[in-house]
Chain A
Amino acid sequence: AQSVSQHNHHVILSEAASLELGCNYSYGGTVNLFWYVQYPGQHLQLLLKYFSGDPLVKGIKGFEAEFIKSKFSFNLRKPSVQWSDTAEYFCAVISLTGGFKTIFGAGTRLFVKA
């Protein structure tokens, strides 16, 4: 079955630490990839996306992600986190074959200590 795995369920960092959140998916074909963020009490917002081209994509608020096709991975990174990055982060994958169904990972809760 198609699935998306986020390896870290809870991450606690101090401000200025670097962040990397893992995301792996199990689709065999072409996919579109997304990272969404949900700040406390808010709705999900797009952080960044990858459709094609340069596998290193940059998003809002200094986030970036790298698509590694051979590893079926799309890890999220930020060189220096801030307290305001405290949120839930979701990786999402849409297969471009078979109905465009979106599968979300289970989410990673990031807490940044001031």
Chain B
Amino acid sequence: DTAVSQTPKYLVTQMGNDKSIKCEQNLGHDTMYWYKQDSKKFLKIMFSYNNKELIINETVPNRFSPKSPDKAHLNLHINSLELGDSAVYFCASSQDGPGEQYFGPGTRLTVT
């Protein structure tokens, strides 16, 4: 009964490829997020969705496209992967915008 799950856990791919990371939460939360954690452990928000609607879109290259088919799912698609995209990507959810967030286990993306 994992609260926030992500697949895959590890993703190794070559530059130029397109890949997707899936996220699902079973907490009934309204808001979901994607974060990028770089090699220095710095966490930066990328996107936030509330009830399938995009509410935060940070300065992220448009190669990154989030998709929320329903409020329990927020997937991240990345086109034309670059070396600098290598990081751990965390999905999170919260009941509402200003509340505590529940994080998924992370997806370690390595671009070679």
Contacts and interface: CB of A to CB of B under 8 A. Distances in A.
A43 B106 contact: yes
Contacts of A101: 45, 48, 56
B33 interface: yes
Contact of B90 (A34, A43, A49, A94): A43
Given A94-B97, A102-B33, A45 B43 contact: no
Contacts of B35: 104
A90 B43 contact: yes
A34 B100 contact: yes
Interface string B81-110: 000000000101000111111111110000
Contacts, number: 57
Majority secondary structure, A binding face:
strand
B104 A107 contact: no
A106 B64 CA distance: 23
B41 A107 contact: yes
A38 B100 CA distance: 15
Nearest to A102: B45
B100 A107 contact: no
A102 B106 contact: no
Given A43-B104, A44-B90, A45-B103, A100 B42 contact: no
Closest 8 CB pairs of A and B: A100-B97, A104-B43, A44-B103, A43-B103, A107-B41, A43-B105, A94-B98, A100-B98
Interface of A: 32, 34, 36, 38, 42-46, 49, 51, 88, 90, 94, 96, 99-104, 106-107, 109
